[in-house]
Structure 1
């Protein structure tokens, strides 16, 4: 109903009640515009996630084929890159689900919601762990190669480390899956996890724990490993092919997932940073969705970096099913484990 007030020659029209997406501030006068993620999701996600899904499936499957068929997983780093591609495929499978939900504007069923949370959480944590393993392996190979035992260079070592990484990623994803299941049981068919990010504990006592877990396992651990190894590797082997490839993969991962983790952290602990005003809440909610969309597209980037920076991959990309002719330069066939120490200070 409209209330009319006569003040001099002006008529002021005040509509009551307020729209659904507006609330009064603490002083009772300020109007807070709540951010609606469905607007951007309906306009952008169906087309973007469909394109990313097609490109990601193509280049990640091609990467798996090249590593298995052509490289035959001869080196430990090949095993890590293979598992990294599988991690990308896990996260990639969630994009069509999100695109379908965004285009149809409905909520996901509980079973599909649990699959979405499981794949996204396992894919994110495993990708972070394998990036850290690749960085650590390149450091051990290129800096302490003379002290490495023969066992550390064998494929069995890579298989064992990969198995432990998948186990750790599954355990790290378990809280989200269990909490999503518990909330689904209490809310019937309503999906508690169909938000702009995959934290089913939003608004509960679990939210700070889940946010800290995602930030530590998905950002701080690989960032710490990267910084420590970079300080040592950067002084000794600036021209190593393995170092350049791992450096590019890790930097792209941190640049694409870092802003999302920071926005998620600030949103969860906004009280501690005095970010409870209307403008801050709106900006944080929008930042989480925008950075989350950017981070989700990362699952199709690693194979492109592998193609651009791995010379052996480039040589085998076209004639991978045929044996390569012998090269005149023996250095081109030198495995990554045999690093050049001519640049060591």
Structure 2
């Protein structure tokens, strides 16, 4: 949950340190009742929706891939770990939803720390696996003949271990600095960092690792992939190109506003933004609250963007759902354009229609 350093402040979790800033004693404390009241209604509602959709969608991805684990490849390994990252991320939301409603942390110090590090690890690992999937698409399409032999299950396992270790390492400060403390006769769970170095580290890690680097990788890789796809005569090439563009645009639209809000708060806390102190603080707090919660919904879209659009994956998912829910039909067969597409030099593979291979 975000904590701006005022009494019983409850917004969203992600970067506490940016909100536990020093106050100018020459000013009276700002009234945050309006923002807090908004958060108590807005956050639990959205968190509950994100939790339900994210849990169901990502659980379906995990179940399908585990059921067909004998046919798993590098792309499927990335999809599986992306779904696990999103699950690790969303299972923390009910705790923060409760925190938003009652304005008090009742789950103890260990759960405060554990939830924070789980939340951050799920966030960073999800971003990192998206980057790996983007690089994998680029390698397969642009360097298929030279790099295919390196796309082995062993390589996928090694990448998985490295990414989870990196994500946990980046998130360790959340475990170290997060703690339960008394806030106006109520217990709060937030990150307490007295060092400007650690505050800067949080800002840089979220903005650079969470937005700038992934966005640059997507733009560079897909800007090379799209011209190659356009040259291929395929009935579905335009669909693939649109999907690729959608991946980049959706990622930017969901995460950029939140990162911009964090950066503006950092500038404000260091006296770089001028204006009415209370109005500016209230505006920025509300901005970060809304944009952060909105960014969280991206984990609900990951199963759709990266898995469910895949033709083979959809058939497997429907087959699995038919065993659980009577009345679900098999996906309708495609028209003849599919056969012409399969005969082209572009082939959709495994569970992701954007993971294309050049023959």
Answer whether TM exceeds 0.5 for this pair. yes
The secondary structure found in structure 2 opposite 1:274 is: coil
Query: Superposition RMSD on alpha carbons, in Å?
Result: 3.6
Residue segments in structure 1 that go unaligned for 5+ positions in a row: 1-19, 194-199
Assess if the C-alpha contact under 8 Å between 2:255 and 2:295 holds in 1: yes
Partner of 2:16: none
| Corresponding residue to 1:219 among 200, 208, 211 | 211
Q: CA deviation at 1:203?
A: 6.5
1:63 is matched with which residue?
Answer: 61
Q: Distance in 2 between matches of 1:123 and 1:29?
A: 39
Task: Indicate the residue corresponding to 1:90 in structure 2.
Answer: 88
How many residue pairs get aligned? The number is 308
Rounded to whole Å, the distance in 2 between the matches of 1:202 and 1:73 is 47
Task: Please tell me whether the aligned partners of residues 121 and 171 of structure 2 are also in contact (alpha carbons under 8 angstroms).
Answer: yes
The offset of 1:225, in angstroms, is 0.9
Taking a change above 3 Å as real, the CA distance of residues 246 and 97 of structure 1, as seen in their structure-2 partners, is farther
3-state DSSP of counterpart to 2:188: coil
Residue equivalent to 1:3: none
- CA–CA separation in structure 2 for the residues paired with 1:189 and 1:30: 22
Partner of 1:315: 315
CA contact (8 A) 1:94 1:116 kept: yes
Offset from partner CA, 1:247-298 (integer Å, 9 cap, x none): 5445433321221111111101224642453233222111110111111222
Show the counterpart of 2:19: none
By how many angstroms is 1:302 displaced?
1.0
Q: CA deviation at 1:303?
A: 1.2
What is the match of residue 145 of structure 1?
144
How does 1:138-217 map onto structure 2 within 5 Å? 138-150=137-149, 152-181=150-179, 190-193=187-190, 200-201=191-192, 204-205=195-196, 206-217=198-209
Secondary structure in 1 aligned to 2:228?
A: coil
For residue 126 of structure 1, report the CA deviation from its aligned partner: 0.5
What pairs up with 1:12-51 in 2 under 5 angstroms? 33-34=31-32, 37-51=35-49
Take 2:74 and 2:238, find their aligned partners in 1: how far apart are those partners?
A: 16
Shift of the alpha carbon at 1:46? 2.4
Superposed CA offset, 1:110-164 (max 9, x none): 22211221111101111111111011110001111112151x2211111111110
Contact 1:52 1:297 in 2 (8 A): yes
Q: Distance in 2 between matches of 1:304 and 1:54?
A: 15
- In structure 2, stretches of 5+ residues that fail to align are 1-6, 9-22, 231-236, 324-329
Contact 1:35 1:286 in 2 (8 A): no
**1:286 lines up with 2:286 in the alignment:** yes
CA 85–98 in structure 1, closer or farther in 2 if over 3 Å, else same: same
Question: CA–CA distance in 2 between the matches of 1:140 and 1:224?
Answer: 16
Cα distance in 2, alignment partners of residues 75 and 340 from structure 1: 17
CA distance in 2, matches of 1:203, 1:315: 53
Q: CA–CA distance in 2 between the matches of 1:203 and 1:266?
A: 20
The C-alpha deviation readout for 1:299-322, integer Å capped at 9, x for no partner, is 222112345521112222222499
TM-score (structure 1 length as normaliser): 0.76
1:233 and 2:221 aligned: no
TM-score by length of 2: 0.74
- Once the two structures are TM-superposed, the CA of residue 33 in structure 1 deviates from its matched residue by 4.8
Shift of 1:89: 0.4
CA gap 1:141/1:178 in 2 versus in 1, 3 angstroms: same
Provide the secondary structure at the position in 1 that maps to 2:104.
coil
